[in-house]
């Protein structure tokens, strides 16, 4: 895949261009609210670099995926790199150790949800009392997802099963599916929590709709049409 990447600036940068360490995370979230093609370079003399898609910014690292070279090979990430990309405000570069990359533990590729680009997309969790809870989809893979929920809104211990969940957008819903909680961790906001879930005994339709949702979001992000990702998802019409 041929993409254009740009090397880092040589020499010492003017300190006026540095970002205050206190605001690095928030700036990275803003810079990479949409997935971007970036370059990883060993130093300013590295003429080739490695092209990557930076998919998401998380509190403990970056979610990135190397773009295969023209011959189909997948580059390995084995060094300390300088990441370089362009945003609306200009050129951004910073050093990342290999420890900052986030290893994807889920089966298959996962992609971040549409986030602020589509606030109408949500996951509905149903309870036996006839009540429902709305969750934000942080990311999704072919057999699970990560949710952002209000802390203590319900029982969220590992192993808890939520039955009859569904994706929803403007009253249109997917086929119901069951989820089991596999892990929990703090959210970026102290009043919320991140919950990792996996499909339980999914039907083939469940699997197809998960894969369709993930692929539609990912494709729309790469094409910079994230606001309209739902136009190509199987369960939305």
Please indicate, yes or no, whether residues 71 and 170 belong to a single structural domain of this protein. Answer: no
Per the model's pLDDT, the better-predicted residue between 236 and 4 turns out to be 236
Please indicate, yes or no, whether residues 142 and 210 belong to a single structural domain of this protein. Answer: yes
Asked whether residue 84 carries a pLDDT value surpassing 50, the answer given is: yes
Mean pLDDT, rounded, for 101-122:
69
**Helix or strand or coil: residue 37?**
strand
Average pLDDT score, the chain: 78
Asked whether residue 203 carries a pLDDT value surpassing 50, the answer given is: yes
Q: Is residue 3 part of a domain?
A: no
Asked whether residue 1 carries a pLDDT value surpassing 60, the answer given is: no
Please indicate, yes or no, whether residues 224 and 115 belong to a single structural domain of this protein. Answer: yes
Domain at 214, CATH number: 2.40.10.220
**Would you state the pLDDT for residue 214?**
87
Q: Is residue 106 part of a domain?
A: no
Please indicate, yes or no, whether residues 191 and 151 belong to a single structural domain of this protein. Answer: yes
How does residue 101 score in pLDDT terms, banded at 50, 70 and 90?
Answer: very low
Q: How many domains does the chain have?
A: 2
Please indicate, yes or no, whether residues 157 and 209 belong to a single structural domain of this protein. Answer: yes
Angstrom CA distances, 40 to 110, 111, 188, stand at: 21, 20, 26
Please indicate, yes or no, whether residues 60 and 139 belong to a single structural domain of this protein. Answer: no
Q: Is residue 235 part of a domain?
A: no
Asked whether residue 98 carries a pLDDT value surpassing 60, the answer given is: no
Q: Round to whole Å and give the CA distance between 143 and 210.
A: 7
Among 84-93, 168-177, 193-202, 204-213, the range scoring the smallest mean pLDDT is: 84-93
Please indicate, yes or no, whether residues 89 and 162 belong to a single structural domain of this protein. Answer: no
Whole-number percent of the chain with pLDDT over 90: 13
**Would you state the pLDDT for residue 93?**
75
Express each pLDDT in 26-52 by its tens digit.
777 777 766 678 888 877 777 778 888
Express each pLDDT in 118-177 by its tens digit.
889 999 988 766 678 889 998 888 888 989 988 877 778 888 899 889 999 988 999 999
* Backbone CA torsion sign across 162, 194, 206, 169: positive
**Which residue segment(s) compose the domain that 189 sits in?**
111-228
Q: Which of 35-49, 50-64, 203-217 has the highest mean pLDDT?
A: 203-217
Q: Is residue 130 part of a domain?
A: yes
The count of C-alpha atoms lying within 13 angstroms of the C-alpha of 131, restricted to the half-sphere facing its C-beta, is 4
Please indicate, yes or no, whether residues 79 and 134 belong to a single structural domain of this protein. Answer: no
Please indicate, yes or no, whether residues 165 and 198 belong to a single structural domain of this protein. Answer: yes
* Strand 50-58 with 81-87, pairing: unpaired
Mean pLDDT, rounded, for 190-217:
89
Burial of residue 96, with CB atoms counted within 10 A of its CB: 0-12 exposed, 13-18 middle, 19 or more buried: middle
């Amino acid at each position: 895949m041929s993409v254009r990447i740009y090397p880092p600036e040589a020499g010492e940068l003017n300190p006026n261009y540095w970002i205050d360490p206190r605001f690095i995370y928030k700036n990275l979230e803003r810079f990479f609210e949409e997935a971007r093609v970036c370059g990883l370079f060993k130093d300013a003399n590295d003429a080739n670099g490695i092209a990557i898609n930076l998919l998401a910014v998380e509190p403990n690292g970056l979610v990135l995926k190397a773009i295969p070279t023209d011959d189909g090979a997948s580059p390995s990430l084995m060094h300390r790199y300088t990441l370089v990309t362009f945003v609306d405000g200009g050129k951004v570069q910073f050093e990342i150790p290999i420890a900052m990359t986030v290893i994807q533990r889920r089966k298959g590729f996962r992609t971040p949800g549409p986030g602020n680009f589509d606030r109408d997309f949500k996951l509905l969790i149903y309870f036996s009392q006839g009540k429902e809870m709305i969750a934000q989809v942080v990311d999704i893979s072919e057999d699970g997802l990560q949710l952002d929920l209000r802390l203590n809104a319900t029982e969220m211990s590992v192993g808890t099963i939520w039955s009859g969940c569904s994706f929803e957008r403007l009253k249109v819903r997917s086929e119901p599916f069951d989820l089991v909680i596999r892990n929990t961790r703090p959210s970026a906001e102290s009043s919320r929590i991140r919950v990792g879930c996996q499909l339980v005994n999914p039907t083939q339709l469940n699997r197809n709709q998960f894969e369709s949702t993930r692929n539609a979001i990912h494709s729309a992000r790469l094409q910079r049409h994230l606001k309209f990702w739902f136009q190509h998802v199987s369960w939305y019409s």
